[in-house]
């Protein structure tokens, strides 16, 4: 192996020559790679590139341009003497250096010569090598070394690259070591969040925000972006957690505190309030959706039941042999026909729906409003205002924020408006549902329970810090409006039920206990009307009492109360008037039925009264049309005298704000209405009975086979007169049993009709069947008229007495006229009688005076009337004993006393009332 020797360098060689030599050597060895040894082909040794470069740099070192410029700048400020001294020193130094260089060359001349010789030898050898194509020239060597270099590069290039990467990694590792806290921040925050250590995560985030980072380091920015992303997700999680319906208020406060520390983009408190409000509205909508689903399910069940029933009926019809199938396709009919959502089951679902809606308000609105008050009063999440920074400025800012209590950029009025909108949604749902309640179930608890639920919500909202005033006022008004709707529906239902029950008159008299010992023999119709009225007004009374308590809190509700009270009063009175109208309709229907039946009987040749029968009647019910009219009269009288006063006095406190004068006017008008109706129906009855009495009078006067111009001597009251009285006896019994309080009035009218009918028939038959009336006929009629007057004395009205006097005058005048004609016609044959002989003698001597006829009639009355009254005392007793003496009119008492004691007929003084001359009689009748 060849030795390597370092070329010795003579330190005394000229600098320029050395430098030129170094450059030549460097240029010769420039093609060798750095770090590779240069082999001396002459065997002089190996010189590495590093040594050559050091030598060259040493040789070429000279003052730089910068140094020269520095020297020039220093010389500008130097004094001339100093410069001269410096120049002299430089010259001296130059001379010294020149001498030293000469001395160096002189001392090292041999070395320089040796070096020069060596270099020349090297150069010559190199030239020879270069000139020899077969030798190891530098070009060949260069090519070989170039190939070796390429292979080395291919072998060591990945190593170099990895070395560079390692250097970069070491650089990055150093930076990571320096900022390791910042780089670990995203994972640290994630870990804290996953463990639920939210406060620690917020502190780390605030710490990272406080670090001042160099702007040119991009990786640190990316780390901070990652931290912001983590915190954004964290804030989203916090916002989402506030939407949990089961979240505790303390947890909400903590979340709001954390969000406020994180400086969120949106207001966390307002987000929470909005979320809670939307949740409440969502719950209301869910109640509605569930209610609709339940209604649809129930409707489908009813449709299925209807379809099943229809199929079963179809099977039953088809099972009958020979029965035609008239049902058709019942499946199609049931499916195509829409099912009505009415019935108690549907109303029960509606009541449950209102109860659920109200429960949502009661459970959520107060808590929601308390949170809002806590927020806007500065009591909510106070800890959120405690800053992590302990400097004075931060604390001052926090104190200012707590003092202001501004946890939200919104106002409490906006929250109140939010709640008011929610209440409006509740109002719409309640009103729509309440209107869908069926009136037939109005006395059930569904509607009243719904009103109670609304009242409960109103009372809950009135509690301290439970709801804003606008929500309280809205619920009060809703409660009042729903109550008014319910009351008006009750009033409407009361009138419609009155109409319904009027269509189902059973004509069965109720017992005396059922009618509370009332003298009116009523049917169950007035009691059913009273029951409807009482049950409805009791419900209304309860509603009005609660409405009064609310009216004291609001002027609007007070006005609503006044309108409702007036509506109730009018509905109450109109209900009575409606009932009176229905009774009138029933009476008209009975009268028309009676008239039609009588016309039919007359057309068929039957003029006598037949019993009325019907196969469609209830056991114990009244079937006779006259008794039905009397029952209608009793119903009217019961309403007029008892029911109207009792019910009005019981419920007038509902509208008692009206004055007493107006109250008296109401009841007076009501009684007058029933009184007018009573007169109409009584007229129907008396008119019908007057027709019966007329037929009896016709039989009594005309159809009994008596010749009033040739009547035998008077022997007493004829059977025809008793039969005529039986007509009134029957009426008395009928009225006494059917409408006892109207007995006096009814018989008074019929007694007037009796006398007026006598007058009417005498006027009609004056020139026919009654054209002649002898003294016996006159006495017979006068006796029987006095008989009627004595028995019917309690019911003789002043008009009846005036009519009776007119009738007696007509009879006297007719008797005088007949007797005078008989005297003139002496050929008239007449059967002699016991009392007629004297009269016949008088007739032969001249005309009979009125006084004689009157005296004759009074004589018969004195002799026969008392006996006839005792003989027919049963007929007389029914008129005298039907009523206790302490309750009958004074006229009846007098008649009863005259019947018991010596008889003193009211017509005893008839003669003294007549003038001796021709009498003038008043025949005007007035009913």
509 in helix, strand or coil? Answer: strand
pLDDT at 203 over 60: yes
Instruction: Work out the pLDDT band at 530, boundaries 50, 70, 90.
Output: very high
Q: Give the integer Cα–Cα distance in Å for 638 and 635.
A: 5
Q: Rounded to 10 degrees, what is the CA torsion of 611, 617, 618, 619?
A: 30
The pLDDT of residue 6:
40
Q: Give me the pLDDT at residue 778, please.
A: 87
Structural domain spans, the chain? 99-129, 181-263, 266-315+342-381+409-503, 529-600+621-656+664-703, 706-720+730-824+849-881
Banded model confidence at residue 36, pLDDT cuts 50, 70, 90? very low
Quick one: tokens of 856? 């004759």
User: What pLDDT digit, counting tens, does each position of 387-405 carry?
Assistant: 333 333 433 333 433 334 4
Per-residue pLDDT tens digits for 752-770 = 999 999 888 888 887 777 7
- Mean pLDDT confidence for 259-286: 84
For the chain, give the mean pLDDT: 76
Q: Where are the alpha helices (DSSP H) in 514-554?
A: 524-551
Mean of pLDDT values over 125-139 = 69
> What's the rounded Cα separation, in Å, for the pair 377 and 365?
18
Q: Tokens standing for 630?
A: 């009397």
Query: What confidence score (pLDDT) does residue 904 get?
Result: 39
- The yes-or-no verdict on residue 813 having pLDDT over 90 is no
What pLDDT score does 293 carry? 93
Distances (CA, A) of 879 to 363, 478, 799: 76, 65, 20
Q: What is the pTM of this model?
A: 0.66
Mean pLDDT over residues 804-816, rounded?
87
Taking Cα atoms as reference points, which of 791, 779, 792 lies closest to residue 910?
779
Average pLDDT, integer, range 523-529: 91
- What are phi and psi for residue 923, nearest 5 degrees? -105, 10
CA separation for the pair 332, 337 (Å, rounded): 8
Radius of gyration for the alpha carbons in the chain, expressed in angstroms and rounded: 68
Over pLDDT 90: what percentage of the chain? 20
Question: What is the arithmetic mean of pLDDT over 772-798?
Answer: 87
User: For residue 749, how far is the Cα from the chain centroid?
Assistant: 59
SS3 51: helix
Q: For residues 352 and 108, give the distance between their C-alpha atoms in angstroms, rounded to a whole number.
A: 128
Region of residue 300 (left: phi > 0; alpha: psi -120 to 50; beta: else): alpha
pLDDT recorded at residue 118: 92
Question: Which residue, among 697, 872, 890, has the nearest Cα to 791 in the 3D structure?
Answer: 872
Burial of 149 (0-12, 13-18, 19+ CB in 10 A): middle
Rounded Cα distance between 651 and 649, Å, is: 6
User: In this structure, are residues 384 and 258 in contact, taking their beta carbons and an 8 Å threshold?
Assistant: yes
pLDDT attached to residue 538: 92
Query: What is residue 405's predicted lDDT score, i.e. its pLDDT?
Result: 42
Q: pLDDT, tens digit, for every residue of 663-708?
A: 678 899 999 999 999 999 998 888 888 888 888 888 888 876 677 8
Higher pLDDT, 656 or 920: 656
> Cα–Cα–Cα angle for 808, 809, 812, nearest 5°?
85
More confident residue, 358 or 128: 358
Higher pLDDT, 314 or 354: 354
Q: How many CB atoms lie within 10 A of CB 204?
A: 21
Helices (H), 825-849: 836-845
Tokens at residue 647, please?
Answer: 């019910």
How far apart are the C-alpha atoms of 654 and 640, rounded to whole Å? Answer: 21
The pLDDT value given to residue 265: 73
Taking the alpha carbons at both ends of the chain, their separation in whole angstroms is 177
**Per mean pLDDT, which range of 25-29, 256-260, 472-476, 784-788 is the poorest?**
25-29
Predicted pLDDT of residue 35? 42
* Residues 398, 392: Cα–Cα separation, whole Å: 10
Query: How large is the average pLDDT for residues 417-422?
Result: 92
Lowest mean pLDDT among 209-213, 511-515, 723-727, 809-813: 209-213
pLDDT, tens digit, 9 for 90 and up, residues 460-511: 998 888 889 999 999 999 999 999 999 999 999 999 998 888 888 888 898 8
- Average of pLDDT values for 618-625? 80
Residue 195 CB: number of other CB atoms within 10 A?
10
Residues 310/330, Cβ–Cβ less than 8 Å: yes
Residues 6+ apart with CB under 8 A from 46: 4, 5, 6, 37, 38, 39, 40
Q: Helix, strand, or coil here: 46?
A: strand
């Amino acid at each position: 192996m060849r030795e390597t020797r370092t070329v010795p360098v003579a330190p005394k060689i000229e600098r320029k020559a050395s430098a030129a030599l170094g450059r030549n050597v460097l240029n010769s060895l420039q093609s060798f790679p750095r770090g590779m040894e240069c082999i001396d082909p002459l065997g002089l040794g190996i010189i590495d590139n590093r040594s050559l470069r050091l030598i060259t740099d040493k040789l070429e070192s000279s003052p730089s341009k910068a140094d020269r410029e520095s020297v020039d700048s220093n010389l500008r400020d130097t004094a001339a003497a100093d410069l001269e001294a410096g120049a002299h020193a430089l010259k001296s130094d130059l001379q010294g250096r020149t001498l030293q260089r000469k001395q160096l060359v002189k001392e090292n001349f041999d070395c320089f010569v040796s070096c020069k010789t060596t270099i020349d030898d090297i150069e010559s050898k190199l030239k020879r090598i270069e000139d020899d194509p077969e030798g190891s020239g530098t070009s060949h060597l260069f090519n070989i070394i170039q190939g070796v270099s390429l292979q080395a590069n291919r072998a060591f290039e990945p190593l170099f690259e990895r070395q560079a990467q390692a250097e970069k990694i070491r650089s990055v590792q150093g930076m990571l070591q320096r900022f390791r806290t910042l780089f670990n921040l995203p994972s640290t925050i994630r870990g804290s969040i996953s463990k639920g250590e939210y406060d620690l995560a917020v502190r780390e985030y605030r710490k990272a925000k406080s670090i001042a980072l160099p702007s040119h380091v991009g990786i640190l920015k990316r780390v901070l972006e990652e931290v912001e992303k983590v915190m954004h997700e964290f804030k989203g999680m916090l916002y989402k957690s506030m939407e949990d319906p089961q979240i505790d208020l303390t947890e909400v406060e903590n979340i709001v505190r954390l969000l406020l520390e994180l400086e969120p983009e949106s207001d966390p408190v307002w987000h929470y309030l909005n979320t809670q409000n939307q949740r409440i509205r969502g719950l209301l909508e869910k109640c509605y959706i569930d209610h609709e689903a339940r209604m649809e399910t129930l409707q489908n069940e009813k449709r299925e039941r209807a379809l099943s029933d229809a199929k079963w009926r179809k099977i039953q019809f088809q099972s009958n042999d020979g029965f035609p199938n008239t049902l058709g396709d019942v499946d199609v009919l049931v499916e195509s026909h829409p099912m009505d959502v009415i019935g108690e089951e549907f109303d029960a679902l509606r009541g449950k729906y209102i109860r659920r809606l109200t429960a949502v308000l009661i459970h959520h609105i107060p808590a929601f409003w308390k949170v809002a008050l806590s927020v806007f009063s500065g009591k909510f999440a106070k800890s959120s205002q405690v800053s992590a920074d302990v400097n004075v400025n931060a604390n001052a800012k926090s104190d200012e924020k707590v003092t202001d209590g501004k946890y939200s950029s919104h106002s409490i009025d906006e929250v109140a408006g939010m709640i008011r909108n929610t209440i409006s949604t509740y109002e719409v749902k309640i009103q729509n549902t309440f209107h869908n309640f069926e009136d037939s179930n109005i006395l059930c608890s569904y509607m009243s329970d719904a009103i109670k639920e609304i009242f409960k919500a109103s009372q809950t909202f009135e509690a301290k810090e439970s709801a804003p005033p606008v929500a309280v006022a809205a619920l009060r008004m809703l409660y009042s409006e729903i109550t008014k709707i319910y009351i008006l529906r009750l009033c409407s239902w009361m009138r419609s039920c009155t109409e319904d029950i009027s269509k189902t008159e059973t004509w069965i008299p109720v017992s005396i206990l059922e009618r509370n010992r009332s003298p009116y023999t009523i049917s169950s119709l007035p009691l059913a009307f009273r029951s409807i009225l009482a049950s409805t007004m009791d419900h209304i009374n309860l509603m009005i009492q609660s409405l009064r308590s609310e009216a004291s809190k609001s002027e609007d509700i007070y006005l609503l109360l006044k309108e409702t009270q007036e509506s109730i009063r009018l509905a109450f009175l109109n209900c009575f008037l409606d009932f009176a109208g229905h009774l009138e309709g029933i009476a008209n229907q009975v009268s028309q039925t009676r008239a039609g039946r009588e016309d039919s009987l007359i057309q068929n040749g039957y003029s006598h009264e037949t019993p009325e029968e019907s196969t469609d009647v209830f056991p114990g019910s009244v079937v006779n049309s006259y008794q039905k009219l009397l029952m209608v009269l009793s119903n009217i009288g019961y309403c007029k005298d008892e029911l109207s006063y009792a019910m009005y006095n019981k419920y007038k406190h509902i509208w008692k704000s009206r004055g007493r004068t107006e109250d008296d006017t109401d009841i007076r008008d009501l009684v007058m209405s029933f009184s007018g109706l009573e007169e109409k129906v009584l007229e129907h009855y008396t008119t019908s009975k007057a027709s019966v009495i007329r037929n009896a009078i016709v039989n009594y006067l005309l159809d009994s086979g008596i010749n009033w111009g040739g009547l035998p001597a008077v022997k007493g009251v004829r059977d025809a007169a008793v039969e005529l009285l039986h007509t009134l006896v029957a009426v008395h019994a009928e009225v006494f049993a059917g409408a006892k309080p109207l007995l006096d009035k009814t018989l008074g009218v019929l007694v007037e009709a009796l006398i007026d009918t006598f007058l009417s028939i005498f006027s009609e038959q004056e020139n026919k069947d009654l054209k002649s009336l002898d003294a016996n006929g006159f006495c017979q009629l006068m006796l029987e008229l006095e008989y009627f007057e004595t028995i019917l004395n309690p019911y003789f009205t002043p008009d009846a007495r005036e009519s009776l006097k007119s009738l007696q005058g007509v009879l006297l005048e007719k008797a005088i006229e007949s007797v005078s004609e008989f005297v003139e016609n002496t050929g008239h044959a007449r059967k002699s009688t016991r009392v007629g002989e004297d009269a016949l003698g008088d007739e032969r001597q001249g005309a009979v005076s009125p006084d004689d006829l009157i005296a004759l009639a009074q004589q018969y009355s004195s002799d026969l009337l008392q006996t006839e009254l005792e003989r027919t005392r049963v007929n007389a007793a029914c008129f005298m004993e039907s009523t206790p003496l302490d309750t009958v009119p004074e006229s009846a008492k007098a008649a009863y006393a005259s019947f018991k004691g010596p008889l003193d007929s009211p017509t005893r003084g008839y003669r003294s009332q007549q003038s001796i001359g021709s009498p003038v009689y008043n025949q005007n009748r007035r009913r």
